[in-house]
Amino acid sequence: MKRTLVTLLSLLCLVQPILAPNTYAADTQFNSAQHRAFFQQLQSQHNINKADAIAILQHAKLSDDVLTAISTPWEAKPWFEYYPIFLTERRLEAGLKFWREHQTTLERAEREYGVPAQIIVAIIGVETFYGGYLGRHKVLDALYTLAFHYPPRETFFRSELGHFLALVHEEKLPATELLGSYAGAMGFGQFISSSYRAYAVDFDGDGQRDLLTNPVDAIGSVANYFAKHRWQAGQPIAAPAWVSRDTNVDNFVSNRGQQLTHTVGELLDAGIHFTTEAERNTKARLFKFDEPAANASYWVALPNFYTITRYNHSPLYAMVVFQLSEQLRRGAQGF
């Protein structure tokens, strides 16, 4: 009996190391105050319980690459270094090819949402080279890393991580396999999880909102996003400007985010010269873009420019989307 008991205890000792690690990790890795608050938010906001969340989160890994990438975004470059990344002949030609292949879908999106084809194509072109590059970071790793290891924006990314867990459940997506940007954006149009849930549409009617592999759904979803963010059909986006010598540009070029701070009339009356079909009372703002040798170019942004910044808050991003869209529009005139 004694020998049997000793043998049994020995077997338990052998088994314990196999069973313990997973249980131990689940009990300790996700037991900080931040994790507890996150799980409470998941339950209240998305009706996801802790056990189901941990079943996915236990596969997440801290990514140093993600932390490096978010600290050195392309939008931190000056304009003259930023735009050559996107405004290339290769991107233009690929965009026109994408437009021809999906012309019927783009025309339908423009009819239904009022967003011109060139803007939709430009967005997809800037974001993923028309679906050719969807990102190399695991979305789960990226969101987990930024949610719990990047204090400057932890609140935002914890919210996005919650939306991601809800999204993979709703759309039956493989949580541990999805690839995207360092910020967790996915698919042809690089939608973050909250935007995917709010603005994605099943544009081909197959019963699934697939922005990861389906360009038709992606086209409709980008158009829907812009429509929901108050795109004004048929209205201008921006106009090049030049400034009178006696005009104090600093009074008009502010650092207050992307909000349109003046009106067309106010800028014209102040000696800022530009041509636009917009009414004088239309909201507007003067943007300065750095050029080589300490020079600068000036553009007056209008409400549709502001709408582009709802997709990405950088004015540089909005300007490169606008300029690519103009190249595409001119190139597509022969379709």
Q: What is the DSSP letter of 251?
A: G
Task: Clarify whether 127 is annotated catalytic.
Answer: yes
d(CA 181, CA 69): 9
Cβ-contact 71, 145 below 8 angstroms: no
Cβ-contact 231, 115 below 8 angstroms: yes
The helix or strand, by DSSP H or E, that contains position 211, with its residue range, turns out to be none
For 191, the token pair is 């939608």
Buried/exposed code over 26-52 (b: 16+ C-beta within 10 A; e: otherwise): beeebeeeebeebbeebeeebebebee
d(CA 193, CA 45): 14
Angle, helices 117-128/315-331, rounded to nearest 10 degrees: 120
Indicate which residue of 127, 170, 171, 266 is catalytic: 127
d(CA 31, CA 253): 47
Dihedral sign from CA coordinates of 68, 42, 61, 172: negative
d(CA 39, CA 59): 16
* Catalytic (active-site) positions: 127
